[in-house]
Structure 1
Amino acid sequence: MSSFHTLPDTGPIAVSRHLVHKSAASEVLLTGYERRGADSFSVTAQWPRAHCFYDVVAGRHDPLLVTETARQCIPLLSHLGYDAPADHSQIWENLTWSVEQEALLATSAPAEIRLDVRCQDVVRRGDRLAAMSMSAILWRDGTFLGSATTRFTSHSPSVIARLRGSYRSALSSALPAAGLPAPLAAERVGRDRPRDVVLSPGSAPRTFVLRVDGRHPVLFDHATDHVPGMLLVEAARQATQAVAFPDTALITGMAIEFHRYVEFDRPCLIEAEVLLAQVPTHVSTRVTAVQDGEAAFTALVTAQRGPAAGPPAHSY
């Protein structure tokens, strides 16, 4: 289905934090947007040389920057490309992404990224965007970096209010600062600070408890009434690292399904199942977030094994 955008774009458009649903301007990765066709777009991004959460490790940019870059494209294209009102919210259904490890090598300059994006299977309700799929090829200085495909829905505030019911008032900003379960050792999950660990020990092997810190400045950039999708993605990464430890799991891709919301008021288990890898230098896991006995999120994670992890650089 073709676009229902009515006015042609006049040229590249700078990206503000509101267009990608961020509160902190420092968390905006996207830098520009331009329509190239009815349902095709060019989006530019910049990955910093240092980031307080998605930092350079072992000389490479964090591969989860691919996920966050694709995530920011969802509201951007919804609002600019398909005229979704500013107060409409987008909900992930699925996401598949992969990255070339060598293209992640960091240099003395920020990484300049271009995404060639195509949208398809666009569904609208009246004149409003209701759902669509998005595919992106990512380039870094003309070199293939990776790809991402996703499908999401778009909803008005009244629909979100009906979907969330009483949970609409359960904002992360009201989560108590005390009472968080103790984190796993940071080095076990590939982190160097306890505050960035999103898993706590579970009661069974390869089972963890999701650790939800509503004060985290990146994972909770703004108040929300449910566990953010990027926190669940990070949990899948950390669970894969935990089962690979002491080796380093260099994540190369994920195939993710979002089944239902994860709520704040009940425990959520993160279960990691090690799958048979096709080659011994790789590790593959199926990570499932389980709440109330039902799967809320699943991710098939692929990674390369690296050298044994060293001690954390710093902690507090």
Structure 2
Amino acid sequence: MSTTVSHHAPLTSVPRDLVHKDDPDQVFLSRYERTADDTFAITADWSRAHSLFPVRDRHEDPMLLVETVRQTFPLLCHHAFGVPLGHHLLWEDFRYSTSAAALLADLDRPTTVDLEVTCRDVVRRGPRAAALELVTAVSRDGDHLGTAHTRFTIQAPAVYQRLRLGRGDARSMMDKAVPLAPPASPQEVGARSFHDVTLSPTDIPRRWQLRVDAHHPLFFDHPVDHAPGMLLMEASRQAAQATSRSHLVMAAGMDVAFHRYVELDTPCHVEAHPVPHDVNGRARVLVVMRQEGDERFKALVTLEETG
């Protein structure tokens, strides 16, 4: 598909294709408005979110915050920056920061979440954006929930296929996905069920094989030719939880670098290394993913106790 969606009028309903989702129940964004040349006000609705992102130890899942922010990337590209549907967004880096206090669950609070997104260093190729840097502040009912920062490039389908070197057909790659290895214990990695475990134990301490379930409704809502970034970040959260060897902790921050795609058709190994605490005394874990001898992904996870 190569239709261009480029408007400046507000959206009072966000179509699923503008956030790269097939399941309408996974579309969290509900309203969008350009408030300045480089600033956007976006509203999200979390009323249906807990089926995919359940409350953990009385706190909202930070991955819900991440997914909400992630949905703004294609929305802004297609609706504000002239990027045709069918073009590919290639993450370079991503980081977020929140806190246990900010994400304390309260069923009496509104489910509406507000995002203020500022665009920086927009690189254009003709009439469309070729790269974007976005800074997002997230709040609910006037209270600050967290911040996020990312930069990504955008490639046309023909260029993307050349970059993928024969691995660019999503359905074919999903058919070739490595068989699911036995899962780690859900309690060990802080998952609610075996279905949501993204790690498989190995004989080496703090080393797992990435479990890529091509039928998982969140990570593979639609065909994808590589392991999605949300899957890699959830695996990082689970590896950090397992490494903490304590009661449930929250991934209050994550600083991520995407080096190369994690492929579906060959095993990827996940390593976790405790590193010195941050300036606030919070534990940190460096998670590295390697495949075919290369480092593909790295995440510095900051943990916070929720008790």
* Shorter-normalised TM range: over 0.9
Greater mean alpha carbon deviation, residues 280-289 or residues 30-39: 280-289
User: Counterpart of 1:79?
Assistant: 78
Change (3 A) 1:280 1:184: farther
For residues 279 and 135 of structure 2, the distance between their equivalents in structure 1, rounded to whole angstroms, comes to 28
- Per-residue deviation, 1:280: 9.2
Q: Which runs of 5+ in 2 are unaligned?
A: none
Q: Can you list the C-alpha shifts for 1:187-242, whole angstroms capped at 9, x where unaligned? A: 10001210100000123111111011101111111111101110000010000000
Q: Which runs of 5+ in 1 are unaligned?
A: 308-316
User: Counterpart of 1:240?
Assistant: 240
- Per-residue deviation, 1:66: 1.7
User: Counterpart of 2:105?
Assistant: 106
- Per-residue deviation, 1:40: 0.7
- Identity, % of aligned positions: 42
- What amino acid maps onto 2:250 in structure 1? L
For residues 152 and 31 of structure 1, the distance between their equivalents in structure 2, rounded to whole angstroms, comes to 23
Is contact 2:57–2:248 with CA below 8 Å preserved after alignment? no
Change (3 A) 1:273 1:71: same
User: Counterpart of 1:174?
Assistant: 175
Q: Can you list the C-alpha shifts for 1:24-51, whole angstroms capped at 9, x where unaligned? A: 0111111111000111100111223652
Change (3 A) 1:49 1:222: closer
Greater mean alpha carbon deviation, residues 54-63 or residues 167-176: 167-176
For residues 185 and 71 of structure 1, the distance between their equivalents in structure 2, rounded to whole angstroms, comes to 28
For residues 292 and 40 of structure 1, the distance between their equivalents in structure 2, rounded to whole angstroms, comes to 41
User: Counterpart of 2:141?
Assistant: 141
Change (3 A) 1:83 1:131: same
User: Counterpart of 1:33?
Assistant: 32
Map residues 29-68 of structure 1 onto 2, 5 A cutoff. Answer: 29-48=28-47, 51-68=50-67
Is contact 2:97–2:147 with CA below 8 Å preserved after alignment? yes
Matched residue SS, 2:181: coil
**Root-mean-square deviation (Å):** 2.1
For residues 126 and 78 of structure 2, the distance between their equivalents in structure 1, rounded to whole angstroms, comes to 16
Q: Does 1:273 align with 2:276?
A: no
- Per-residue deviation, 1:283: 1.8
For residues 137 and 158 of structure 2, the distance between their equivalents in structure 1, rounded to whole angstroms, comes to 34
For residues 300 and 104 of structure 1, the distance between their equivalents in structure 2, rounded to whole angstroms, comes to 20
Map residues 162-241 of structure 1 onto 2, 5 A cutoff. Answer: 162-169=162-169, 171=171, 173-175=174-176, 179-241=179-241
Is contact 2:25–2:48 with CA below 8 Å preserved after alignment? no
User: Counterpart of 1:120?
Assistant: 120
Is contact 1:49–1:56 with CA below 8 Å preserved after alignment? no
Is contact 1:251–1:301 with CA below 8 Å preserved after alignment? yes
Is contact 1:259–1:295 with CA below 8 Å preserved after alignment? yes
Q: Does 1:294 align with 2:294?
A: yes
User: Counterpart of 1:314?
Assistant: none
- Per-residue deviation, 1:179: 3.7
- Per-residue deviation, 1:106: 2.1
Is contact 1:258–1:298 with CA below 8 Å preserved after alignment? yes
- What amino acid maps onto 2:231 in structure 1? L
